[in-house]
Structure 1
Amino acid sequence: MSCPECFQGSVHDGEPRGKVIKLHGLDTYATEPADGRAPRGIIVIVPDAFGWEFVNNRILADHYADKGDYKVYLPDFMLGHSASLSMLQSVRGFTSGSLLYKPYYIVMALSGFIPFRYHNRFGRSWPIVESFFRQLRTDGAEGAALPVGVAGFCWGGKHAVLLAQTSETAVDGRRPLIDAAFTGHPSRLALPADIAALTRPVSFAIPEKDNQVSPEQAAMIRGIVEALPAEAKGEVVVYEDCAHGFCVRADLKFKDSEVARQAAEAEDQCIAWFNAKLGLAA
């Protein structure tokens, strides 16, 4: 398995408060500020492997709505083929279980991993993601009137980065599909090519112990995005002692733990970035 860490982590407690709608052809979890204030912009989440129904992703969407006064959409870009939560247990057993049961956990992990990779390979998922953003951006009721940001995690990180390459994804040759992007521990980036092609600003939250982006690669990304023209200049924040998946699947059992604290900081990084780059900073 190329990325066991993509299928590890904790399930969070909580009850998402948004609603499920059909938006631009996709089932979508939609949430707005809880206090009834009018949304100032739109954030679309392109999630990790566990997809749009994963409680962690829906709670994160609620947090973004409340912290930044955003309308947040979490679409089913995987068309019903997200990773099963049983993968969390299978991969945990595969990586840390006893030798006696390792063969069992390997088989169970692969039985989930192989279908996920088949159904959600980039060549299949990218047209779905790109089409959604194109329809959103040309919707006169929303995307044409409000600024649009994308937040991509793990599997979704690659999509968020490519959405920020507006030379390939312009709307009517005038407007980009997105105004700004945020990505937490993105997977399967082509480095440095994916970063050098950015024309919209991207904020990266990279864990120090990431298995997908090494410290040396994080430094390379920082050097590239900080040297881009002003309209595309980005940032890289490295979170010490954190591992891949911490933005979404950190263990929050102990709220004052270092990883829980840094997961909350990554949420704030995302909101501060969008507030600034979508023209909404106070």
Structure 2
Amino acid sequence: MAFAPSLLTSLEALEAPGLYAAVTRAYHLARVAASYAPFAYVNTAAAVRARLYPFLRALRMKEAQALPLGVAGFCWGGYWCFQLARADATVAHPDAVGAEGGAEGGAEGKEEGAQSDAAARPLADALFTAHPSLMAIPTDVDTATRPMSIAAAGIDARYPAADVETTRAILARRTEESGTPHEVRVYEGCHHGFALRGSREEGEGGAEAEKQALAWFEGRFGELKV
């Protein structure tokens, strides 16, 4: 389930300055809330996990057996990028005995019948997220071990500057300790959603975030041996 494109008008109005924006803010807030309620109902963590993990496992067992696999997430999709970056977000290698069992990955741990770490492959080899939200900082960053690229908005109540810097410090330390590449880039002057909304005012930031994602995946996939 996705939001209607027309809802972008209300989202922008909630952050707009001026008297008119203040007077109409209640209307736009109600409109956003009315759309968010059914969205949240069908996109609980359990519901998303039940769709996302089997889909990625199926890719690993078929089309992506011999290909690198990347995942990009925006806003609350960024939370799932961090979950997929966990060391236990794996699937059994298709050549392993009993590979049909696979591994569930994530906080729930591995399914019964999962293979050893040596026989498992990550559900995602590299991840990119722009203006992520819903993460528990620093917990979700501490458990992220896969290559991660982050495009953070300079103005974002959902992922404030303090959390961005905490993320940067943790990932920089991990790169130093393990050699796993990570990057965090802040787009100053851009708001939450800048990489997707196509705002004329923030179009340059969105275009740069797209370049960041493409360069990241090209770089990581060139390093991988599958």
Q: State whether residues 8 and 197 of structure 2, in contact with CA within 8 Å, keep that contact through their aligned partners in structure 1.
A: no
Specify whether residues 275 and 245 from structure 1 end up closer, same or farther in structure 2 by C-alpha distance, changes over 3 A only: same
TM-score, normalised via structure 2 length: 0.77
**Corresponding residue number in structure 2 for 1:132:** 55
What secondary structure does 1:216 align onto? helix
Whether 2:191 is the aligned partner of 1:271: answer: no
**1:15-62 CA-partner distances (Å, limit 9, x unpaired):** xxxxxxxxxxxxxxxxxxxxxxxxxxxxxxxxxxxxxxxxxxxxxxxx
CA distance in 1, matches of 2:124, 2:41: 28
**Corresponding residue number in structure 1 for 2:78:** 157
Whether 2:37 is the aligned partner of 1:114: answer: yes
CA distance in 2, matches of 1:218, 1:98: 29
Specify whether residues 105 and 213 from structure 1 end up closer, same or farther in structure 2 by C-alpha distance, changes over 3 A only: closer
CA distance in 2, matches of 1:134, 1:225: 26
**Corresponding residue number in structure 1 for 2:122:** 176
Q: State whether residues 130 and 195 of structure 2, in contact with CA within 8 Å, keep that contact through their aligned partners in structure 1.
A: yes
Q: State whether residues 164 and 200 of structure 1, in contact with CA within 8 Å, keep that contact through their aligned partners in structure 2.
A: yes
CA distance in 2, matches of 1:98, 1:263: 25
May I ask how many residue pairs the two structures share in their alignment? 193
**Corresponding residue number in structure 2 for 1:226:** 172
CA distance in 2, matches of 1:176, 1:94: 39
CA distance in 1, matches of 2:178, 2:37: 41
TM-score, normalised via structure 1 length: 0.63
- Bigger fraction of residues in strand: 1
Matched AA of 1:126: R
**Corresponding residue number in structure 2 for 1:186:** 132
Q: CA deviation at 1:238?
A: 0.7
Task: Kindly name which structure, 1 or 2, has the bigger radius of gyration based on alpha carbons.
Answer: 2
Specify whether residues 201 and 108 from structure 1 end up closer, same or farther in structure 2 by C-alpha distance, changes over 3 A only: same
Specify whether residues 187 and 98 from structure 1 end up closer, same or farther in structure 2 by C-alpha distance, changes over 3 A only: closer
Matched AA of 2:212: Q
**Corresponding residue number in structure 1 for 2:4:** 84
Matched AA of 2:73: G
Q: CA deviation at 1:152?
A: 0.5
CA distance in 2, matches of 1:267, 1:113: 26
Q: State whether residues 129 and 159 of structure 1, in contact with CA within 8 Å, keep that contact through their aligned partners in structure 2.
A: no
What secondary structure does 2:137 align onto? coil
Whether 2:87 is the aligned partner of 1:166: answer: yes
What secondary structure does 2:40 align onto? helix
Q: State whether residues 207 and 239 of structure 1, in contact with CA within 8 Å, keep that contact through their aligned partners in structure 2.
A: yes
RMSD: 2.1
Q: Which among 193, 196, 201 is matched to residue 248 of structure 1?
A: 196
Matched AA of 1:245: G
Q: State whether residues 82 and 144 of structure 2, in contact with CA within 8 Å, keep that contact through their aligned partners in structure 1.
A: yes
Whether 2:154 is the aligned partner of 1:211: answer: no
Q: CA deviation at 1:109?
A: 2.2
What secondary structure does 2:129 align onto? strand
Between the aligned residues of both structures, percent identity stands at 35
